[in-house]
Structure 1
Amino acid sequence: MKRKLVIYIAAFVAVGTFGSCSRSFLEKTPQGQLVTDQMQTVEGCEATLIGAYGLLNGNLDGTWGNYASAPSQWLFGEVGADNAHKGSVNSDQPNMNQIELHQVTSTNDNLEVMWTRCYEGIARCNTTLFLLNAVQNGSGAKFTAERAKEVEAEARFLRGHYYFFLRRLFKNVPYIDENTSTTEAITKSNEGDVYPMIEADFKFAVDNLPATHPQGDIGRPDNIAAKAYLGKVLLYLNRQSEALPLFNDVIASRPSIETLDFDDNFKIATENGPESIFAVQHTINPDGSGDNANVGDMLAGFYGSAPVNCCGFFQPTFDLVNSFRVDANGLPFLDNSYRTNPYKSDFGLTGTAKENYALNQTIAFDPRLDYTVGRRGVPYKDWGVMPGDAWIRDPSYAGPFVAGKHTIFETEFAANSVSGANYVTGLNVNIIRLADVYLMAAECAADANDLDEAKRLVNLIRERASHLPGVSVNGSPAAAYNVGQYTDFPTKEYAMNAIHFERRLELALEGHRYFDLVRWGIAKQVIESYSAFEGSILSSFLGITFDASDEVMPIPQTQIDRSGGGLKQN
């Protein structure tokens, strides 16, 4: 049985290079210091590699404040798109409002959080590579040639991941590697594209990671994870013909998607299953604390009488919920006509109408809705029937819905959440899962005009969705659940539209949406159309405008100030 890679956050002193372009990081007084000779050992190098994994959960120095660096990317990837509202109340975390409304300034603290966490992860990868070279060329004990290649491949895979997160959000970022001195790192320019180096790191990982998880730890990437991630990078570079063979290798390595349970991806009991390609491993510490848990998603606990009642953020939009509606053939409304006469739950009702609200169980929905979203009158995990406003901080601001993929079962709280803070859990976050790969492969097939193959891959995702048992209310289905198959992709344009829509349904609230819209070149069209619809119900979101400059975030002003002229603003 594979071990789960358990990582406990510790203080590391980087040897040789530092990847953060931050004087404050470089000038910290160490509380305890390991000298170079102590770290230039096999054990020291393995320890720094573990430290590089430690930043995957986005946590550098405490459980609070890591929301922007969450591996789920809920803030930038979902709130920044059309899938989710920030939630809570308007005045709480006001800098998140800038992200939702696309009015982000360079002083927004969420940018600084994302930047520093990723560069700290890069620094730890670079330190691992520096130490590896020193160990293998030193006079002491050395790694075996096989393990040395694995260590380098693991470190470069992780470095590629951190740079990919930075590149797709900020675009123009400085490239720091193990050969960059501390002095150079501080003033390094952000001119030039880092994608070639990201690609090189993942290619090295593909060539050198084994078919099984290194060291028997399931949290470490294997060859299949490297192929999936390299394919994703190539897709972002519009090199679909190179990405498709990699995706096909990943698909061939796993059971067919329709045989796997959709909901297993979001349960502690079934995490790291066959659909998980690369996941951030979260855990509650032996002392019950949560530094190594899913701290990035902790604000997305609910409110009021909910079993998890902090802090009311991350609420699905009306637009997302209604996108799960289907026609008589069980197919989605690709023309956005799902917005006609939208389902609003009990929103807008008052008095006795609100009190006596009854769920309309005749609406035709894709069953993935009730595994993705909590809505009034429908059972939510084992928490009981979702009561509506009693679990929501301010429904008049962000609507009547709650998110469903980031929470755990109430029966799992004792062993898998922080006592008294059940919003901090040990639930993993998938960076890439098999359904994501199927749909990326479908994009590549459609791009090559192989519309039959694109349709086959999409229909397999939809067949799996059709196997989901509908949620029951008083012994009958909570909706007229229906998932149909596409009989034809008549044109490439139709195929791409269907694939885009399927990615939204399948991967909703998993951090992909904003980045998909940007790479497809449709962010302005989609977000402004969404704003017109959503704003007709919730006035706070009316009139959002999206310009080309909004496709990338500003470089944090603090980093520009510290760089001595090295960094240029986007």
Structure 2
Amino acid sequence: MKIYNLIAQVGIAAFLLTGCSKDFLNKVPQGELSDVQLGTAESIEMQLLGAYSIMNGNISGTWGNYASAPSQWVFGEMTSDNAHKGSEQTDQPNMNMIETYGVNAENDNLSTMWQVYYEGVLRANGTIASVNTDQAGTKKVTAARAKEILAEARMLRGHYYFFMWRIFKNLPWIDENTTLEEAKVKPNTEDILPKIIEDLKFAEANLPVSKINNEGGRVTKAAAKAYLGKVYLYQKKYPEALALFKEVIAGRDITSLNFWNNFNVLTEDGPEALLVSKHAINSNGAPDNANVGDMLSGLYGTSPVGCCGFYQPTIDLVNAYKVDANGLPLLDNSFRNNPYLSDMKAPNNKYVLDTTLRVDPRLDYTVGRRGVEYLDYGIMPGNDWIRSASYAGPFVGIKTMIPQSQYATQTASGANYLTGLDVNIIRLADVVLMAAECQVELGNLSEALTLVNSVRNRAAKLAPKKTKYGNNAANYVVKPYPSFANQDYARKAVRFERRIELAMEGHRFFDLVRWGIAKDVIESYSSFEGTHLPFYKGLVFTPKAEIFPIPLTEIDRSNGTLTQNPGF
């Protein structure tokens, strides 16, 4: 299929690229071009595809690249009130330290994130240098295509840096003009966000409207606009961000788009997708281009997946989908009153699903819970699919899973937890809600109301999930807000909508930090969650926890040039 052409080519490109070890400081100097960089137009295209290949957060292999997953589940969700690490307490203890805000600079998850995405930066730099050399000399690439390649490479570089910036903030800027000797002593004391913005501006100005060669995964002008607007939003530049978001939204009706199509391997990368990490299972069943970052989220035990039991939704998130009699969210956190706990408090053979529970239907398209149909696997049986419910709760995720009927072509041979499912990095609902956020902060409450309600009206179209008896598994209801009475209420509504619409997609922790409410939200969540799951009781969120330490291995390699983040 055409949609997988880019993935197939990326595998070849990654093989052809030279100098792809993990240590970004020991690379072919960007001012001294290698033979590959001086090759044909085709070799430059292959370099670009090699730069694209890091979109899936993986350089090679399968096991071990969880921290660099494009879904950002380790840093963006597991650290928030949305998700637990899952599995058992003794499994992946370095993840426990991240989840409980006790991480140190020697944590291997930090090194993975740093090394993989600096590899992406390096590959983008190499592509840019090759194009510049070609255009200054033989011009084997047409001028028009050269501009597009530069735009693609700079978009990728901006993305890789932004992913790292949200986590580490203080980074050395390495570009196509940085030599090896300069890279070795490049400090991380410069604010790189303006340079990320420069890359995204160039991409927005020079990328085409349509995907090049109609290949899935290619970046477009709309993707660049959405990304640039997102970075402006992080800077609280609301007018600038809103202008870009409006351009992305124009002509797109989110109410006409199917929510679940974003997570269906047969309909992924569709009209709502703006920036995705493409994944595919090779024709021989090999997982080289699979979604390896999310592999641990596979269901455990007797489930058809059989591994690995990580990345479980929190009790707090599940209860956040409750609605009042008017079909509206409980913005005051009263959803924690009389909480729904599935079968945690019931003897295993006495549990009865409460089908009167009044919830937003997005709950059962985000979370697997006992007694409710789960894809085409049948009815979710509870503990039989969970490694340790007393540690990480009774719920499992669903957005990273695919139906059994697709295993033959969309999972790796003998490993159903390695799938060809894409990961949405930016999708239209994300942009609509970011635009709503801008409208709220600019005082345009009626415009914000329209945007939020478009997302809610789309959610109302979701088909109800069923029990084994064929009846609805809950009292599903979601209604639009009649009005936003004031700015504070509107702000809460937008933020809450982002949580329930984008849950388990890598946004939550970064949202809490940029809103300046991480400490209050996480410590309040800990008081609630810890009542039911003792491991999460008493979490303390300090200001230093808003970013993560620079990996000690990188500081050592820099001979002390890199400065550690405050508090670590």
Amino acid in structure 2 at the alignment position of 1:194? I
Render the CA deviation track for 1:234-254: whole Å, top value 9, x for unaligned. 111110100111111111142
- The residue type equivalent to 2:11 in the other structure is Y
- Give, as a single letter, the amino acid of the residue that structure 2 aligns with 1:356: K
1:224 positional shift: 0.7
Report the CA distance shift for 1:442/1:138 in structure 2 as closer, same or farther (over 3 A).
same
Counterpart of 1:407 in structure 2 is 401
Aligned to 1:268: 265
Q: What are the equivalent positions in structure 2 for 1:163-562 lying under 5 Å apart?
A: 163-254=161-252, 256-350=253-347, 354-473=348-467, 474-562=469-557
Within 1, Cα distance between the matches of 2:536 and 2:439? 36
Backbone CA RMSD of aligned residues: 1.6
Structure 1 residues 19 and 387: alpha-carbon distance in aligned structure 2, compared to 1, 3 A threshold: closer
* Paired residue type of 1:197: K
Distance 1:311 1:146 in 2: 47
TM norm structure 2: 0.96
CA distance in 2, matches of 1:564, 1:72: 32
Matches within 5 A, 1:28-43: 35-36=34-35, 39-43=38-42
Give me the whole-angstrom Cα distance separating, in 1, the residues matched to 2:357 and 2:192.
47
Q: How many residues align?
A: 556
Which consecutive residues of structure 2, in runs of 5 or more, have no partner in the other structure? Answer: none
Contact 1:20/1:185, CA 8 A, preserved across alignment: no
Take 1:438 and 1:37, find their aligned partners in 2: how far apart are those partners? 42
Provide the C-alpha distance between the structure 1 equivalents of 2:249 and 2:115, rounded to a whole number of angstroms.
Answer: 35
Amino acid at match of 2:233: L
**Letter in structure 1 aligned against 2:116:** R
The one-letter code sitting in structure 2 at the alignment partner of 1:370 is D
Give a deviation string over 1:139-198, Cα, whole Å, max 9, x none: 3x5211110100000000000000000101100011000000011112210001110011
| Pairwise CA distance, 1:104 | 0.7
8 Å Cα contact 1:19-1:185 kept in structure 2: no
Q: 1:177 to 1:22 in 2, by over 3 A?
A: closer
Structure 1 CA distance, aligned partners of 2:24 and 2:133?
A: 26
Change in 2 beyond 3 A, CA 1:567/1:20 = farther
1:84 aligns with 2:83: yes
Letter in 1 for 2:282: N
> Residues 372 and 37 (structure 1 numbering): CA distance in 2 closer, same or farther, change over 3 Å?
closer
CA drift of 1:35 comes to 4.8
Task: Quote the offset at 1:83 in angstroms.
Answer: 0.4
- Equivalent-residue separation in structure 2 for 1:172 and 1:35 (angstroms): 30
Alpha-carbon spacing, 1:124–1:405, altered in 2? closer, same or farther (3 Å): same
| Alignment partners' CA distance in 2, 1:35 and 1:524 | 48
* SS of structure 2 residue aligned to 1:277: strand
Whole-Å Cα distance in 2 between the matches of residues 20 and 450 of structure 1? Answer: 47
Name the CA distance, whole Å, in 2 between partners of 1:487 and 1:289: 51
**CA deviations over 1:284-306 (Å, ceiling 9, x no partner):** 12221112110000001111100
Q: CA deviation at 1:442?
A: 0.0
Indicate the larger mover: 499-508 or 472-481. 472-481
Q: Calculate the TM-score normalised by the size of structure 1.
A: 0.95
Tell me how far apart the structure 2 counterparts of residues 457 and 13 of structure 1 sit (CA, whole Å): 44
- Tell me the distance in 1 between the aligned counterparts of 2:34 and 2:340: 62
Equivalent in the alignment of 2:11: 8
Report the CA distance between 1:215 and its aligned residue: 2.7
Q: What SS does the corresponding residue of 2:418 show, helix, strand or coil?
A: strand
The residue type equivalent to 2:91 in the other structure is: D
Counterpart of 2:433, as a letter, is: L
1:244 is paired with a residue of what secondary structure? helix
Q: What letter is aligned with 1:192?
A: E
2:279 & 2:176 partners in 1: Cα distance? 28
Specify the code of the residue in structure 2 equivalent to 1:231: G
